[in-house]
Structure 1
Amino acid sequence: MQILDLTGPVQVFASTNDACAASAHVPPYAWRMVATQPAHVTASSGIELGTQTLPTDNEPVDTLLIAGGPGVAAACQDVALLDWLRARSGQARRVGSVCTGAFLLATAGVLDGRRVTTHWSFCAELAHAFPQVRVESDPIFVRDGEIWTSAGVTSGIDLALAMVEEDLGRDIALAVARHLVVYLKRPGGQGQYSAALSLQVAEDCFGDLHDWMAAHLAYDLSLPRLAEQAAMSSRSFSRRYREATGMTPARAVEHLRIDEARRLLLETRLPMKRIAQRCGFGSEETLRRSFMRLLKVTPNDYRSRFGTTL
């Protein structure tokens, strides 16, 4: 398994127990790391962890979490494990996966008809292999009823914190997040990756241009202006940029402006009109349309959902 897929959520639950014990409350969580056979399981990082055998039918399971990692492909061929997952998933209060653990749940049929996510680099593969599953590539985690799935690696921490918040309330979850020096809700909301991060694939060709674009979002970033800044003809620039980044210059500009608008919505109390102007959208309506197109939510709803009181 990928070590953080497992230890990230476990540390959240352990820190929650510590927080409750410090306030004279009974620690709410007890966990077991289980596998088809009790053994020392080696993580992809080389660290060995001891596991216990799978719970029997008469042992209740409240929350069942599946870690991801390179061993998932082999696990998907384990008929006994798949049968166990099908049976126990229907008995547990909630079932979840971290990263590529979603493939194991999907193979067992647990995710049929559900909204789910996984690591961004595996979303297309999951959607192709399991067309009956509704894969969403952007969120850090997705909850669909009792089914919880999260994106890659550290997103298991986000998932576990959300579970703690559901179980024990925001104050406890926030205290745990502060203790772990992580966000209860990440800046930028729930997106798996920012435009700046995705554009790093073209750092060698257009790194300087991207830095300039980020510093001039409120200015003219039309195709001719970008081509001029890159010292290329508009036609050559458009072709080479798309080859390097996988998107048009206009789409890259929109994503960068959305990223900055997301930051301002969460970190400031600036009115929508000012945010639209500072990010180069020109008007609140243009800002709203871009949010709806890319994030499926209005700027006001985004601020109320992911923002904190300043």
Structure 2
Amino acid sequence: MSLAVTSAFAAANRHAGAVLYDVRLLSEQGGPVRAALGADLTTDPIRDLAAYDTILVAAGIVIPETTPILAAALRAAARARRRVAGLCLGSFVLGEAGLLDGRRATTHWRYAQLFRDRYPASTLEIDKIYIADGTIWTSAGMSAAIDLAVGMIERDHGRDLAHSVARGLVMERRRAGGQAQHSALLDVDAPSDRVQAVLAYARRNLHLPLTTEALAAVACLSPRQFTRLFRAETGTSPAKAVEAIRVEAARLMLEQSRLPIEEIARETGFANRERMRRSFLRVHGEGPRTIRQAAGPLAVA
């Protein structure tokens, strides 16, 4: 999955009509490298990382080994080159090389405690999609590496090209570095078409009251039957699910727009900012203003 990051740079070349990025795959020894699913990747040796502008350290689904040769090469590259990035568990490689000491970083949320234990001199911000701290970049799990790459493209060549790349890659939305790794919508899912249709209806109609009775009518069930089925499939009540969907939609608007908080509250069905604030405190433990401030500008150093 980390190798998908190369598609963002290829798309940038295509949309710009010029070779903005020349991407190479490197390994310590060079030659073919076997991926987890059995495909061989052709790589060049890392003899001179100083020849490259940007170094991206990719990783699979287990924490990679960091050899002394690789660590030394990365330290030299960090001193001489414009930026070095650790993608997902690749951040552990940067940590082993000592490149995260005194810096902010992120990685996959599942490995947060292990990261803190290993690299106490680094400030782990596990609620971020990616972070650019000076010349050192790190990303959260898997697909967040693509967001990091698009962030680099924006830093290099501006927002218009970055948005063209995001659209070309059919990214659902442009995610800035300050966004949270975890989406509440992942927790509100259901196996049956009936309940899926209700969830889709709720997401399309946040401005409506979305009472249990109204949702039951969409499912063509009585409120009691619907509530029982909904809880069995999602593990939560219709009211709590609607709240989570509203909060998620509002959070995205806070991170991706400069709309007034009061307007976002109305757009997402909260009626007013105080009701939205209370829901945010229940779901996220912090208010809308704090989340907007945490999102900040795109991957600023």
Give the Cα–Cα distance (whole angstroms) in 2 for the partners of residues 62 and 268 of structure 1. Answer: 32
Q: Which residue of 1 aligns with 2:276?
A: 287
2:147 corresponding residue in structure 1 = 158
Give the corresponding residue for 2:2: 5
Alpha-carbon distance in 1 for matches of 2:269, 2:169: 36
What's the CA shift string for 1:42-99, capped at 9, x where partnerless?
A: 1122221011110327x422111100114643x23x2222222222222221111111
Match of 2:91? 102
Aligned to 2:219: none
Unaligned runs of 5+ residues in structure 1 are 222-228, 232-236, 238-243
Deviation at residue 196 of structure 1 after TM alignment:
2.4
Q: Secondary structure at the match of 1:90?
A: helix
Deviations 1:29-50 (A, max 9, x none): 1122111101211112222101
- Matched with 1:48 is 40
Deviation at residue 198 of structure 1 after TM alignment: 3.6
Alignment of 1:28-39 (within 5 A): 28-39=20-31
Q: Distance in 2 between matches of 1:48 and 1:54?
A: 18
Deviations 1:172-193 (A, max 9, x none): 2222222222256139972222
Which residue of structure 1 aligns with residue 14 of structure 2? 18
Match runs of 1:192-271 below 5 Å:
192-198=181-187, 215=202, 255-263=244-252
Shift of 1:121: 1.7
Change (3 A) 1:102 1:271: closer
Alpha-carbon deviations, 1:231-256, whole Å to 9, x = none?
7xxxxx9xxxxxx89xxxx9988654
Check the 8 A contact 1:141/1:150 in 2, yes or no.
yes
> Gapped runs of 5+ residues in structure 2?
213-225
Cross-structure match for 1:224: none
- Pairwise mapping of residues 80-159 of structure 1 onto structure 2 (< 5 A)? 80-159=69-148
Whichever residue aligns with residue 174 of structure 2, its letter is K
- Measured at CA, do residues 295 and 139 of structure 1 come closer, stay the same or move farther in structure 2, by a change above 3 Å? farther
The AA in structure 2 aligned to 1:19 is H
| Structure 1 position 304, deviation (Å) | 8.8
Give the RMSD, CA atoms, in angstroms: 4.3
Aligned to 1:79: 68
- Note if contact 1:39-1:50 (Cα within 8 Å) is conserved in structure 2: yes
What SS does structure 2 have at the residue aligned with 1:51?
strand
Amino acid at match of 1:118: T
Aligned pair 1:67/2:64, yes or no? no
Distance apart, 1:257 and its partner CA? 3.9
TM-score (norm 2): 0.72
Partner of 1:240: none
% identity of equivalent residues: 37
